[in-house]
Amino acid sequence: MHTRLVRHTTLLFVAALLVVAGGALMPLSTAASRPPTRLVTPSHTAAKVLPAASSSRSVAMMPVRPITAGNRAAGPRASASFDCSQVTFLPAIECQALVALYDSTDGPAWTNNQGWLSSNTIWYGALPPLNGHVFMLGLSSNQLSGTIPSQLANLSYLTELDLDSNQLSGGNPVGLNTLTQLKDLELFNNQLTGPIPPNLDSIASLREIGLDRNRLSGTIPYLGNLSNLTDLSLFSNQLTGPIPPELGSLTSLEDLFLADNQLTGTIPSQLGSLANLVDLELNGNRLTGPIPPELGNLTRLWYLDLSGNKLAGPMPLSLENLHGLYSFYFDSTVCEPDDAAFEAWFSGITNTSSATLCPVKVDLPLVIR
């Protein structure tokens, strides 16, 4: 389900092969892991636990030099005096994009700015492979503050952009859709505002989108072309409007986190087409109507949270098909059908909200007076 740890272990090996000026290898270490995205709301007294076979989404574990007191002692100079023509391991346009990021996010105050604005060593968090292009930019939890510059769109070989858990503000950078090789977009846990970047659906290679825990507004844009997307995390923003039915075409999706927004309308029946979905969190919105019976098609589903909405009516009997469901949360306005088989299925779920039986309808005989 979650492949980030395996992927970044491979990247550690690749980074170890990078040779800087003088033939010395750069020492490597790993960054702290990303906090889990599982939400624990006041209505959930039990902590949400991941199954033993899976792991929480974790931050890109970037190959970096160990953070020491000497990392800033070198005193990276102001970019106004830095000439990218001096850098031999990067194209000038990519160097300029990195310098723009350094300038706009207060680079001298970063937790680790090892090597930045130097002409003879790899810059911390920016990994150029052997062909000399930045393919991975990871500055998570590094005290970046300010805005993301549009020049990052010039890093055309970038496959991973991890700037999460900083103090980034302003809108999302324009031109991200030009990064046609991008696989992971992780900007979560910042203070970004405005809409979700447009035209992300044109990046067919995307596997993970992490924009959660920001201040994004507007509606969820069209993302229906992202057939490789496994993780869509937009929770804890200020998104409005309906859940796009087109999300049902993301057949590789395993995790869909839309909780704690202001989404309205009904739950699209098309979500029942997400055959690989393991975790569906729609809690803390303003959704109405019944639970669609099509959710019973999600036979791999392990976690389902629909609480904190305005859903009502009986649970569909088709939910009995969710044999691996471990946690199921809902509001008191949703009732349990009076069905023996359904009751047996429901009682086997480890973590659930309390359910009441749906009232039995009694058909009274027609009396003609």
Q: Would you state the pLDDT for residue 130?
A: 64
Q: Would you state the pLDDT for residue 368?
A: 55
Can you tell me the distance from the alpha carbon of 296 to that of 285, in angstroms, rounded to the nearest whole number?
21
Token representation of residue 356: 């009441």
Q: Would you state the pLDDT for residue 369?
A: 46
Q: Would you state the pLDDT for residue 18?
A: 40
Token representation of residue 143: 């005290």
Question: Per-residue pLDDT tens for 17-51?
Answer: 343 333 333 333 333 333 334 343 433 433 344 44
pLDDT at 66 > cutoff 70? no
Can you tell me the distance from the alpha carbon of 91 to that of 109, in angstroms, rounded to the nearest whole number?
26
Question: Per-residue pLDDT tens for 124-176?
Answer: 999 877 688 999 999 999 999 999 999 999 999 999 999 999 999 999 888 89
Domains of the chain with bracketed CATH:
4-241 (3.80.10.10), 263-369 (3.80.10.10)
Can you tell me the distance from the alpha carbon of 110 to that of 108, in angstroms, rounded to the nearest whole number?
6
pLDDT at 341 > cutoff 50? yes
Nearest to 282 by CA among 361, 15, 291: 291
Q: What is the mean pLDDT of the chain?
A: 82
Confidence of residue 74 (pLDDT cuts 50, 70, 90): very low
Confidence of residue 363 (pLDDT cuts 50, 70, 90): low
Q: Quote the Cα angle for 318-324-326, to 5°.
A: 105
Can you tell me the distance from the alpha carbon of 329 to that of 44, in angstroms, rounded to the nearest whole number?
8
8 A C-beta contact, residue 234 and residue 220: yes
Can you tell me the distance from the alpha carbon of 258 to that of 281, in angstroms, rounded to the nearest whole number?
6
Mean pLDDT, to the nearest integer, of 188-205?
A: 95
Q: What are the Cα distances from residue 51, in Å, to 271, 278, 279?
A: 23, 11, 11
pLDDT at 331 > cutoff 90? yes
Contacts (Cβ under 8 Å, ≥6 apart) of 224 = 201, 244, 246, 247, 249, 250
Q: Would you state the pLDDT for residue 212?
A: 98
Give pTM, 2 decimals: 0.81
Can you tell me the distance from the alpha carbon of 314 to that of 334, in angstroms, rounded to the nearest whole number?
6
Confidence of residue 232 (pLDDT cuts 50, 70, 90): very high
User: Which residues sit opposite 168 in a β-bridge?
Assistant: 146
Rounded to the nearest angstrom, the gap between the alpha carbon of residue 274 and the centroid of all alpha carbons in its chain is: 17
pLDDT at 64 > cutoff 90? no
Provide long-range contacts, Cβ within 8 A and 24+ apart, for 239-247: 239/196, 239/263, 240/264, 241/265, 242/266, 242/268, 243/267, 243/268, 243/271, 243/282, 243/287, 244/219, 244/220, 244/268, 245/269, 245/270, 246/222, 246/270, 247/220, 247/223, 247/271, 247/274
Output DSSP code: residue 81. Answer: G
Rounded to the nearest angstrom, the gap between the alpha carbon of residue 43 and the centroid of all alpha carbons in its chain is: 23
Contacts (Cβ under 8 Å, ≥6 apart) of 269 = 245, 248, 292, 293, 294
Contacts (Cβ under 8 Å, ≥6 apart) of 327 = 48, 302, 303, 304, 305, 349, 350, 351, 352
User: Which residues sit opposite 255 in a β-bridge?
Assistant: 231, 279
pLDDT at 77 > cutoff 80? no
Quick check: helix, strand or coil at residue 315? coil
Which amino acid is it at 353?
Answer: S
Q: Would you state the pLDDT for residue 89?
A: 85
Q: Quote the Cα angle for 261-303-252, to 5°.
A: 85
How many residues comprise the chain? 369
Can you tell me the distance from the alpha carbon of 111 to that of 64, in angstroms, rounded to the nearest whole number?
12
